[in-house]
Amino acid sequence: MQELINKSKELLASGSINRVLGWKAGDLSYNPEPAFFTSEEELADFIYDDFCAANLSKFMIEAAKKEGKTLVFLKPCDTYSFNQLLKEHRVDREKAYIVGVGCSGKLSTTKIKEQGVKGITKITTNGDTLEIATLYGDKSLNRSDVLLERCHVCKGKEHRIYDELIGESKETSDRDKFKEVEMLEKMSPEEKFAFFQQELSKCIRCNACRNVCPACSCRKCVFDSDKFDSAQKLNANSFEEKMFHIIRAFHVAGRCTDCGECSRVCPEGIPLHLFNRKFIKDIDELYGEFRAGEDAETVGPLTSFTFDDAEPQEAVERG
């Protein structure tokens, strides 16, 4: 962490950057939040630890409108989102100084709490073990038991775009990313409907998933614009619960990098990544493997045409 702060100070002092985009401590020690830093003093709040899961790419849209360069810290998986935004001309490469930071997987506070840990005062990482100080005494947990879902399907330790790298990364993938989707595919239509009905009925339309999503970067979202009949602020009925999420899934199809932020921030714990991953699996199978954000140039399969493309009939027959 100190290395990141030093780099920030150095570049701020040299004048080659105007601000730093990183994380600062939140209300709780295990709840850091994204923040801009413009001076050495502000950097005193800078933090980078196992809970800095937030993907900072989307904030670079705002940074692109500001004067001068912004130093941004991106984890390997965050760089996919940055590339995708670059492809869509939403961020400005010239105005970004990208420091690729090391990552060995980020932790889920929800999962920690699910282990029955309450009243957390401090969490220290010690190799593969988490030492947790609570109001009710000390606890220890296996780090791998409380990794975020997305870290179990880690994209690898390679940064896809950067100006410089600081810190070591470790690939934490230990699951097949499409396993859950395959289970869903095996369900009957009725079972599938019941599953999603059940999950989406929890939605409180807080818009957290949309607001955090780097693919949901529209200047004016169709759900906020009175130009469209889809504008809505709340879920008036079960149809609207589903409509919001299904429209959102369609809008990010082919552009979603599977960064998992939607599921991470959902206060109701809805596995929203399943929608996106189903699309990714379908795209892979119909058009060949494609990973959004791998680079900033390739036109995605849903917005390009090749003679090898699947015929519409093939998609229909798959169901």
Partner 1 sequence: MQRIGVFVCHCGSNIAATVDVEKVVEYAKLEPGVVHAEDYQYMCSEAGQMKIAEAVKDKNLTGIVVCSCSPRMHETTFRNAAKRAGINPYMVEIANIREHCSWIHKDIEEGTEKAVILARAAIAKVNLNAPLEPGESRVTKRALVIGGGIAGIQTALDIADAGYEVDIVEKTPSIGGRMSQLDKTFPTLDCSACILTPKMVEAAAHEKVNIYTYSEVDKVSGFVGDFTVDIKKKARSVDMDKCTGCGVCSEKCPMKKTPSEFNRGLENRSAIYTPFAQAIPNVPVIDRENCIMFKTGKCGVCSKVCQAGAIDYEQQDEIITENYGAIVVATGFDTIKLDDFDEYAYNQSKDVITSLELERVMNAAGPTKGHLERLSDGKAPKEIVFIQCVGSRDVTCRGKEYCSKICCMYTAKHAMLIRDKYPDVNVTVFYIDVRTPGKNFDEFYRRAVEEYQVNYIKGQVGKVMPQADGKLLVQGVDLLDNRQILKEADMVVLATAIEPEAGVRKIATMLTASIDTNDFLTEAHPKLRPVESPTAGVFLSGVCQGPKDIPETVAQAGAAAVKAIGLLAKDKLMTNPCTAKADELLCNGCSTCANVCPYGAITYEEKEINDHGIRENRRVAAVNTALCQGCGACTVTCPSGAMDLQGFSNRQILAEVDAICR
Enumerate binding residues for partner 1 (CB under 8 A).
65, 87-90, 217-222, 225, 227-229, 251-252, 255, 299, 302-305, 307
Q: Number of helices and strands (H, E) in the chain?
A: 12, 8
Q: Which residue has the tokens 């073990």?
A: 129
For 12-168, list the strands marked E by DSSP: 19-24, 33-37, 70-74, 96-101, 120-126, 129-134, 137-142, 164-166
Distance (Å, whole) CA 9 – CA 13: 6
55 or 84, CB closer to partner 1?
84
CB 298 to partner 1: min, Å: 11
277: nearest Cα among 305, 301, 258 = 258
Residues 6+ apart with CB under 8 A from 232: 223, 240, 244
93 or 139, CB closer to partner 1?
93
CB 64 to partner 1: min, Å: 11
Distance (Å, whole) CA 54 – CA 24: 11
37 or 275, CB closer to partner 1?
275
183 or 315, CB closer to partner 1?
315
CB 80 to partner 1: min, Å: 17
CB 260 to partner 1: min, Å: 20
CB 61 to partner 1: min, Å: 10
**What is the DSSP track for 202-266?**
T-----HHHHH-SS---SS-TTT-TTSTT--SS--SHHHHHHHHHHHHHHHTTT-----HHHHH-
Structure tokens at 267: 């206060």
Instruction: State the DSSP code for 296.
Output: S
126 or 313, CB closer to partner 1?
313
90 or 157, CB closer to partner 1?
90
42 or 282, CB closer to partner 1?
282
CA 136 to the chain's CA centroid: 33
245: nearest Cα among 225, 215, 273, 282 = 273
CB 229 to partner 1: min, Å: 6
CB 171 to partner 1: min, Å: 31
